[in-house]
């Protein structure tokens, strides 16, 4: 459990699937991703299982972000990737998604900073954001990542910015 001024950040649990679905089935949340919001609880359960695998295999993973009243408001965290992206591989990607009613309050930055601090001994932490996703680019910069380069996402043909933490 990581605690910040406003947030509780913990590993996903199987029981979180409805809350996760509620977040990730919203097209607004997927606007700068691949425009493929979740369509079923089964997808949400699969996603949580993938995070449980990340915790076990790599000691990282996306984490549930809750307010101090224990309400699920989104997720944030590192994902280990051995895919080749932007000519890099074996990196930890910082990501986050929040419910729209939580946007614009500095929550993604607060969660990201706490997570980066928790994992401060880890090398090869990066962040990727569509150039169009102004909020996400700002979060990465405010969390201390440094812009490295632009590259074309092979899946949607759009430009992404690549950032590194260390």
Ligand X SMILES: CC(C)(COP(=O)(O)OP(=O)(O)OC[C@H]1O[C@@H](n2cnc3c(N)ncnc32)[C@H](O)[C@@H]1OP(=O)(O)O)[C@@H](O)C(=O)NCCC(=O)NCCS
Q: Which residues contact ligand X by CB under 6 A?
A: 29, 32-33, 96-98, 103-109, 129, 133-136, 138-139, 142
The count of other CB atoms within 10 Å of the CB of residue 132 is 12
Q: Min. distance of Cβ 98 from ligand X in angstroms?
A: 4
Owner of token pair 């440094």: 146
Q: Min. distance of Cβ 118 from ligand X in angstroms?
A: 18
Nearer to ligand X by Cβ, of 59 and 104: the residue is 104
Nearer to ligand X by Cβ, of 134 and 152: the residue is 134
Task: Write out the H or E segment, with its range, that includes residue 13.
Answer: none
Q: Min. distance of Cβ 78 from ligand X in angstroms?
A: 13
Q: Min. distance of Cβ 132 from ligand X in angstroms?
A: 9
Nearer to ligand X by Cβ, of 29 and 125: the residue is 29
Q: How is the beta sheet containing 159-164 ordered, strand by strand?
A: 2-3, 7-11, 61-67, 72-81, 91-98, 125-130, 159-164, 146-152
Tokens of residue 135, six digits: 């909020």
- Residue length, the chain? 166
Nearer to ligand X by Cβ, of 6 and 11: the residue is 6
């Amino acid at each position: 459990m990581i605690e910040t001024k406003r947030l509780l950040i913990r590993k996903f649990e199987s029981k979180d699937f409805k809350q996760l679905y509620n977040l990730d089935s919203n097209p607004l949340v997927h606007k700068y991703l691949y425009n493929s919001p979740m369509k079923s609880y089964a997808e949400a359960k699969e996603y949580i299982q993938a995070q449980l695998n990340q915790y076990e295999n790599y000691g990282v993973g996306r984490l549930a972000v809750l307010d101090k009243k224990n309400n699920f408001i989104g997720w944030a965290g590192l994902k280990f990737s051995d895919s080749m992206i932007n000519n890099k591989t074996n990196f930890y990607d910082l990501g986050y998604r929040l419910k729209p009613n939580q946007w614009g309050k500095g929550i993604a930055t607060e969660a990201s900073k706490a997570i980066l601090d928790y994992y401060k001994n880890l090398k090869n932490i990066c962040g990727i954001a569509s150039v169009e996703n102004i909020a996400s680019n700002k979060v990465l910069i405010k969390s201390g990542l440094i812009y490295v380069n632009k590259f074309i996402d092979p899946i949607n043909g759009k430009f992404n910015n690549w950032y590194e933490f260390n």
